[in-house]
Chain A
């Protein structure tokens, strides 16, 4: 069983520069063809400073650290037995190519169901930009299958 004393644990923040090339690659991978997500001029016409970070890409930027799954290993989670249970985004302002985003994460819950056959880890992440403005909040629920 995972140690519930990790609830409340935080990790050192990390900052990521949003690169236009990464956004275009992501657009390609998800079949996005709207010029707003690919063409800088179209993005500006739509009211953005540059190519916008699409709704779920903050999750990818959160993974942009040297060892993105290290926090799970630290908790004793086995990568081969995990599933992504839930994901939530709350948006406060747009993020665009050229922004430097900072991610601060905290474990907010560890629980289990079915006599420990399933364990749930909830992590919340606050995202802010180079001006210190609050961009978004992410919540991830990871499930470990023990049976």
Chain B
């Protein structure tokens, strides 16, 4: 892993490419995450709510962004992690998670970096925008 001094603003994280989202992906995530909101797993419910189909949990995309981060640095170094769900992630979207070092800073005597992260589908549409602070 890189040290604080070796780390440069503009440095890219190794991207994480996910397979296309299937209905079974969402069913499995609903069970495993404990988010049983039927809007993500029940087509009839989704239609009655005015949606054309079920759609992915925001927290599935955030969990993938978490993998992007912990593939890169040990989780113990993660100080904060936030996400804005800017548009709905649909079935058959193949999501890529990417990240970029945007700032080097020192907080409470600890050297940290701020990383800008996002998930986007295969058409380049941003789905989740976020940020993480990592201690080095």
Contacts and interface: CB of A to CB of B under 8 A. Distances in A.
A35 interface: no
Given A28-B28, A56-B62, A64-B34, A86 B79 contact: no
A75 interface: no
Interface in B1-40: 18-19, 25, 28-29, 31-35, 37, 39
Given A54-B70, A87-B58, A25 B80 contact: no
Nearest to B25: A29
Contacts of A32: 67
Interface stretch (A77-85, A106-114, A127-135): A77-85
B66 A34 contact: no
A60 B75 contact: no
A26 B64 CA distance: 12
Nearest to A24: B32
A22 B34 CA distance: 10
Contacts of B39: 79-80
- Which size bracket describes the interface of B in this complex? 35 or more
Contacts of B45: 80
A69 interface: yes
A84 B33 CA distance: 14
A87 B58 CA distance: 9
Given A25-B32, A84-B58, A88-B82, A34 B76 contact: no
B83 interface: yes
A41 interface: no
A26 B32 contact: yes
B76 A87 contact: no
B54 interface: no
A91 interface: yes
Given A26-B32, A55-B69, A86-B84, A81 B49 contact: yes
Contact of B67 (A31, A52, A94): A31
A64 B32 CA distance: 11
Contacts of B74: 46-47
A94 B78 CA distance: 10
Those 10 A-B pairs whose CB atoms lie nearest each other, nearest first = A29-B32, A80-B49, A55-B66, A88-B82, A84-B58, A63-B34, A30-B63, A25-B32, A60-B34, A29-B28
20 contacts: A25-B31, A28-B28, A29-B28, A30-B66, A30-B67, A31-B64, A34-B71, A54-B66, A54-B70, A55-B81, A56-B63, A68-B34, A83-B85, A84-B59, A85-B84, A85-B85, A88-B82, A91-B78, A94-B75, A94-B76
Interface of A: 22, 25-26, 28-32, 34, 36, 46-47, 52, 54-57, 59-61, 63-64, 68-69, 79-81, 83-91, 94, 139
